[in-house]
Amino acid sequence: MSERMLSYVCGTSAKPLLGETIGDLFDRMVARYPDNEALIDRQQGQRYRYRQLRDAVDSCACGLLTLGLQQGERLGIWSPNRAEWLITQLATAKIGVILVNINPSYRLHEVEYVLTQSGCSTLITHPAFRNSDYSGMLYELAPELPECAPGQLLAAKLPALRTIIRLGDERTAGMFSWGDLIDLAAQTPPQVLEERQARLQFDDPINIQYTSGTTGFPKGATLSHHNILNNGYFVAELMNFSDQDRLVVPVPLYHCFGMVMGNLGCISHGATIIYPSEGFEPRSVLEAVQAERATALYGVPTMFIAELEHPEFNSFDLSSLRTGIMAGSPCPIEVMKKVQALMHMREIEIAYGMTETSPVSFQTRADAPLDKRVSTVGQIHPHVEVKIIDPNNGQVVPIGQTGELCTRGYSVMLGYWNNEEATNTAIDGAHWMHTGDLAVMDVDGYVNIVGRIKDMIIRGGENIYPREIEEFLYTHPQISDVQVIGVPDMKYGEEVMAWVKLKPGASLSADELGAFCQGQIAHYKIPRYFKFVDGFPMTVTGKIQKFLMRKESINDLGLEGAAAQATA
């Protein structure tokens, strides 16, 4: 190649960025599509047309104004997927209150940290979800609650928190109910809400999302109206969304996938949002697609695998589906092919990004060649720049060479909340966000994510990317899912290990899998260890926690000595 091409791309678009707040955009969509269905919550049995959703949002916003919330204050939401989540998201956006998303699976010390670090003055909470007793945890964190009047909490462990609003109409000591909040709306005239909304700017912070750190405490990525509204809008644009689309959202709302790509993607197009259940249940998803004639479906790979493997899968009519997104963790090529063929999602796309970039930077296009749609994360998003650099010296690498992916543009977060040191580590002086992901770009600008810098396995000086081995093992007809990690080794520094989840009724041994690899992949990439499992440790958003797999494997294999040597 005579000309040295570098791994840099810039996303162009005939459509400009939206220069408005989330509240203003929502009101504009209500005016345009007042009678379109906006939200269907199947578990709660609630349905809202756009004008009905606006009334609910404005009531919530006025209720919060009556409680005295000021622009820039933080309000936490600790709840699974419910109609009130979206209503709160839009209401806080209308009054300039920063919504703090709290992971539904958080336990005591985690929720205490997030509420304190963000300085939440108000918390909207569901009483319980699955095996989590939210109310019980709050009474443990704030034993002062039963003795205080609602809105007047003074808790030693949660010094900023004054008000807790409990979803539902039941009475709980020290807390307002959701019904109380809506009743308070009558005390704030509509023009007060209009005046507050008119003062807001699209660059104002409006959302804090805590990243699930693998070490230390999570960091609060602070996002603006401009960040998340535009990202949701362009994700849906690239899926060719219109006001006729109906999207099933089984991914959690506390994460960008649900609240940005789902909620804001639909709202910005006058489309319909469908919540199948409070938490992911494969049957509920299949039922929702069939009953609501959904045109689109979101999910992480493990969700799509669970739907495809549901024993009653073939009894559901999924023919209304057209598109959707698989994201959140690397998407197995074989799973993508099955989703296209068996779920009628011929235009399904892959998206790649991170919370700190609102989240999406790359997305496949429906008209891209099949091999690009199933084997890459697509091409650059509109109005976004990406470069791939050598992590050792910061130089942009040539096309085809592996390096760290960096992103720049409207989508990069404002910073980590009250954490300047972490912000400066992640975003450099030229405003590039360093993702920590290893990637390769081809001549057409398609990118393949090959792993995390910290997940890369170095065996005897050879760089091994787990993703490559995972993709090969997925081709085995008896394997349902697989994850590859590095474990410490006295001789080579690291060895390759595969955690394998078999299909129902399948039987396979480590020796058989080793033989399957022989002659198909380089000898040094063949896993030395295989572990057969029923599942993987993961976050509620479906991200595999490989650091926990590594820790468990070191213990199982008795590699503590090698681990001590490897880290010396």
Tally of domains in the chain:
2
Picking from 162, 179, 211, the residue at the C-terminal end of a domain is: 211
Is 372 part of any domain?
no
Q: What is the largest CA-CA distance in the chain?
A: 77
What is the pLDDT at residue 547? 87
Distance CA 431, CA 423 (A): 11
Is 201 part of any domain?
yes
Angle at 83 between CA 82 and CA 86, to 5 degrees: 100
Look at strands 493-502 and 46-49 and give their pairing: unpaired
CA torsion through residues 551, 553, 556, 560, sign: negative
Closest CA to 413 of 398, 404, 424: 424
Distance CA 194, CA 535 (A): 50
Stretches in the chain below the pLDDT threshold 50:
1-2, 214-215, 566-568
Over the stretch 428-477, which tens digit does the pLDDT of each residue have? 999 999 999 999 999 999 999 887 787 888 787 777 878 889 988 999 99
Is 140 part of any domain?
yes
Q: Which two tokens stand for residue 527?
A: 């896993």
Give 93's contacts (C-beta < 8 A, 6+ positions apart): 21, 22, 23, 26, 99, 206, 225
What is the pLDDT at residue 3? 62
What is the pLDDT at residue 212? 62
Distance CA 388, CA 491 (A): 32
> In the 8-state DSSP scheme, what is residue 403?
E
Is 461 part of any domain?
yes
Over the stretch 237-286, which tens digit does the pLDDT of each residue have? 999 999 999 999 999 999 999 999 999 999 999 999 999 999 999 999 99
Placement of tokens 């005939």 in the chain: 14
Is 4 part of any domain?
no
Is 141 part of any domain?
yes
Give 18's contacts (C-beta < 8 A, 6+ positions apart): 25, 202, 226, 229, 230, 233, 268
CATH classification of the domain holding 85 = 3.40.50.980
Placement of tokens 């069939």 in the chain: 290
Is 364 part of any domain?
no
Placement of tokens 């840099």 in the chain: 8
The phi, psi pair for 160, rounded to 5°, reads: -85, -25
CATH classification of the domain holding 509 = 3.30.300.30
What is the pLDDT at residue 341? 96
Picking from 211, 226, 246, the residue at the C-terminal end of a domain is: 211
What is the pLDDT at residue 450? 83
Is 232 part of any domain?
no
Contact 178, 169 (CB under 8 A): yes
pTM for the structure as a whole: 0.87
What is the pLDDT at residue 566? 41
Length of the chain: 568
Angle at 215 between CA 211 and CA 219, to 5 degrees: 30
What is the pLDDT at residue 110? 85
C-alpha of 11 from chain center: 22
Placement of tokens 């797999």 in the chain: 549
Which amino acid belongs to residue 391?
P
What is the pLDDT at residue 549? 94
Picking from 187, 211, 235, the residue at the C-terminal end of a domain is: 211
The alpha carbons of the chain give a radius of gyration, in whole angstroms, of 24
Domain hosting 546: range is 456-566
The phi, psi pair for 39, rounded to 5°, reads: -145, 135
Q: Which two tokens stand for residue 253?
A: 């709302």
Look at strands 447-452 and 433-441 and give their pairing: antiparallel
Over the stretch 286-336, which tens digit does the pLDDT of each residue have? 999 999 999 999 998 889 999 999 999 999 999 999 999 998 776 778 889
Q: Which two tokens stand for residue 16?
A: 């400009």
